[in-house]
Amino acid sequence: MEASSSCPASASEIVFFDLETTVPNKAGQRFWVLEFGAIIVCPRKLVELDSYSTLVRPTDLSAVALKSGRCDGITREAVANAPAFGEVADKIFSILNGRIWAGHNIRRFDCVRIKEAFAEIGRPAPMPVGMIDSLGVLTEKFGRRAGNMKMATLATYFGLGQQKHRSLEDVRMNLEVLKHCATVLFLESSLPSVMSGKWHNPSTMVTRSRSNGKLPCREENSRKSPPSTTLGYQRAVPYTRGSLGKMTEGVKNLLCKAQETKSLNNILKHSHSFFR
């Protein structure tokens, strides 16, 4: 993949990645990688530069369930003819090595599984230049207002649809969740009286007078229906390449800071300055 002029080197790019694995149900069993998915994002424009996903056939095929408990889950039949990890290791290494890694709970799970998979084929694992683990960062900065902080719970909270538990769909959902959380934190830091419900008359809004176009303002009753209070609704969101380019300039600047700080903790700490 060739870097764009706004992202001149891979070190300035963020790779969101996710693994789907088997789940051990007995002592001594191990995790087997069943799917790898990733998107490479330029933080300066929030555009998806590249994407890749592949099913992976584990060495022990019997460790994969014949039927999945999830509607879109991975079955033994689905991975029976997939490439082994060693066959896709070069591609995965080129995607991950030397970039900023991002994902949900990747520090304690996905990173460990990647190291195990490369060790099994006798090759050194890829190394990141920075890491953004959205689970720990959002738990600290956003809090548990959405519930247990699992990706599925956060997606439901923001009305982003149902988590598919497939790698490529999940990393795109992860990015959308981060953008929504960062925007909420910005609004709360910039408009504390509004976000805390301290307006004296929330049913009115102030608008510029259309009679003369001058600065004096008047109040108008909002004709918009009140916002729904239901947070658990779901709606389909097409996490496509084009949708990543529609973010505001303020949120673009948010992820742009990742290449300098390599930590979303510092990014969210500066969220109050997004739209200044």
**Which of 165, 180, 200, 272 is an active site residue?**
165
Asked whether 181 and 265 are in contact (CB, 8 A), the reply is no
DSSP string, 58-85: -S-GGGS-SS-SSTT---HHHHTTSPBH
b/e map of 64-73 (b: 16 or more CB within 10 Å)?
beeeeeeeee
Residues forming a β-bridge with 38: 17, 52
b/e map of 112-150 (b: 16 or more CB within 10 Å)?
ebbebbbeeeeeebbebebbbbbbbbbeebbeeebeebe
- CA-based R_g, the chain, Å: 22
Q: How many beta carbons lie within 10 A of that of residue 172, not counting itself?
A: 26
Nearest-angstrom CA–CA distance, 146 and 157: 6
What spatial distance separates the first Cα and last Cα of the chain, rounded to whole Å? 35
SS3 of 210, please?
coil
- Reading the block at residue 61, the tokens are 């095929």
200 in catalytic set: no
Nearest-angstrom CA–CA distance, 75 and 66: 6
Asked whether 227 and 203 are in contact (CB, 8 A), the reply is no
Residues marked active site are found at 165
